[in-house]
Amino acid sequence: MAAIGSVAELWRYPASSLAGERLEAIAVGTDSIEGDRMFGLVDVSDNEIARPDRDAKWHKVPRIRTRLNHDRELEIAIPGGDWLSAPGPECDRAVSNYLGFAASIRPFGRENAPPAYAGPLTQARYKKAPIHLLTTASLARLKALHPDGAADPRRFRPNIVVDMAPVDGSFPETEWIGRKLAIGDLVLTISEPCRRCGFTIIAQDGFDNDPGILRNLVRYNAHNLGVYCTVDKPGRVDIGAPMRFVAA
């Protein structure tokens, strides 16, 4: 079947709620992207995990940059700061000073911890699906509905952004539930739409706080943008890889 689009952006999120890491290629297993959502950020006072969608005290968290080094160890950088190894006391001090309260980056389970780490762990809040896919066609539809807003992919935290022609009056991937896609070597089943929360309105570097983003998704696409996918065949995905439908 002919390609309907090609991969424009690839993202993983080494630490939940913190900024993502843009990549040229990703390795996708049955359950996750390699290096995705290995760490969480907690309030030390009560071990509450960061919830930017629900509590304003976390609204600056998406501005904290993340990356994994060649040894798959986490590094973070607060705005205006240098890269720091995480988890650890120095990075926790920097994050706490930035947020204005005591906070700590902790692994989701001992298997995600660096070899020398012996500190506390935290539990992942939830893991909806291995892959979150978003098309530029849906971003274009949102922009058409909300011309003054920034329909930036970073608002929505996708793993794969597919470039495809706009579909007039449609958020196209929302209509693909149950269909199978091949992207490079990877084969996915689109399992459900991605229901959006207050995270989408929060300001990040390059765009402002904007409640109109979520209002338009609620009004015109039943709260949704993008889709969650399960993995039928693991594989590597590179920028530029074609996407096509495959038979069930």
The reply to whether 137 and 205 lie within a common domain is: yes
- Give the pLDDT confidence of 42-96 residue by residue, as tens digits: 999 999 999 999 999 999 999 999 999 988 899 999 999 999 999 999 999 999 9
The reply to whether 133 and 241 lie within a common domain is: yes
The reply to whether 238 and 135 lie within a common domain is: yes
Per DSSP, 17 falls in state T
Q: Is residue 119 included in any domain, yes or no?
A: no
Last residue in a domain, options 78, 112, 146: 112
The reply to whether 141 and 51 lie within a common domain is: no
Last residue in a domain, options 52, 78, 112: 112
Per DSSP, 121 falls in state -
CA neighbor of 142 nearest in space, from 166, 114, 160, 122: 166
What is the number of domains present in the chain? 2
Query: Which CATH number fits the domain that encloses residue 10?
Result: 2.40.33.20
Q: Is residue 100 included in any domain, yes or no?
A: yes
The pLDDT of residue 248 is above 80? no
Helices (H), 185-227: 211-221
Q: Is 116 exposed, middle or buried (0-12, 13-18, 19+ CB in 10 A)?
A: exposed
Both tokens assigned to 149: 């807003």
With tokens 């969480």, the residue in question is: 40
The reply to whether 146 and 240 lie within a common domain is: yes
Q: Is 38 helix (H, G, I), strand (E, B) or coil?
A: coil
pLDDT at 234: 97
Q: Please give the model's pTM, rounded to 2 decimal places.
A: 0.95
The pLDDT of residue 162 is above 80? yes
- Give the pLDDT confidence of 211-246 residue by residue, as tens digits: 999 999 999 999 999 999 999 999 999 999 999 999
Q: Is residue 195 included in any domain, yes or no?
A: yes
Q: Is residue 156 included in any domain, yes or no?
A: yes
The reply to whether 10 and 60 lie within a common domain is: no
CA neighbor of 163 nearest in space, from 187, 138, 200, 188: 138
Per the structure, the complete domain to which residue 43 belongs is given by 39-112
Q: Is 30 helix (H, G, I), strand (E, B) or coil?
A: coil
The reply to whether 93 and 177 lie within a common domain is: no
Q: Is residue 68 included in any domain, yes or no?
A: yes
What single-letter amino acid sits at 206?
G
The reply to whether 19 and 105 lie within a common domain is: no
Q: At what angle do helices 211-221 and 136-145 cross, to 10 degrees?
A: 100
Between CA 102 and CA 105 the distance in angstroms is 11
Q: Is residue 120 included in any domain, yes or no?
A: no
The reply to whether 57 and 75 lie within a common domain is: yes
The reply to whether 28 and 43 lie within a common domain is: no
Instruction: Tell me the backbone φ, ψ of residue 89, rounded to 5 degrees.
Output: -60, -40
Q: Is residue 23 included in any domain, yes or no?
A: yes
Q: Is residue 117 included in any domain, yes or no?
A: no
The reply to whether 135 and 217 lie within a common domain is: yes
The reply to whether 10 and 92 lie within a common domain is: no
Q: Tell me which of 25-29, 30-34, 93-97, 100-104 is least confident.
A: 30-34
- Give the pLDDT confidence of 113-158 residue by residue, as tens digits: 888 888 999 988 777 789 999 999 999 999 999 999 999 999 999 9
Between CA 233 and CA 144 the distance in angstroms is 35
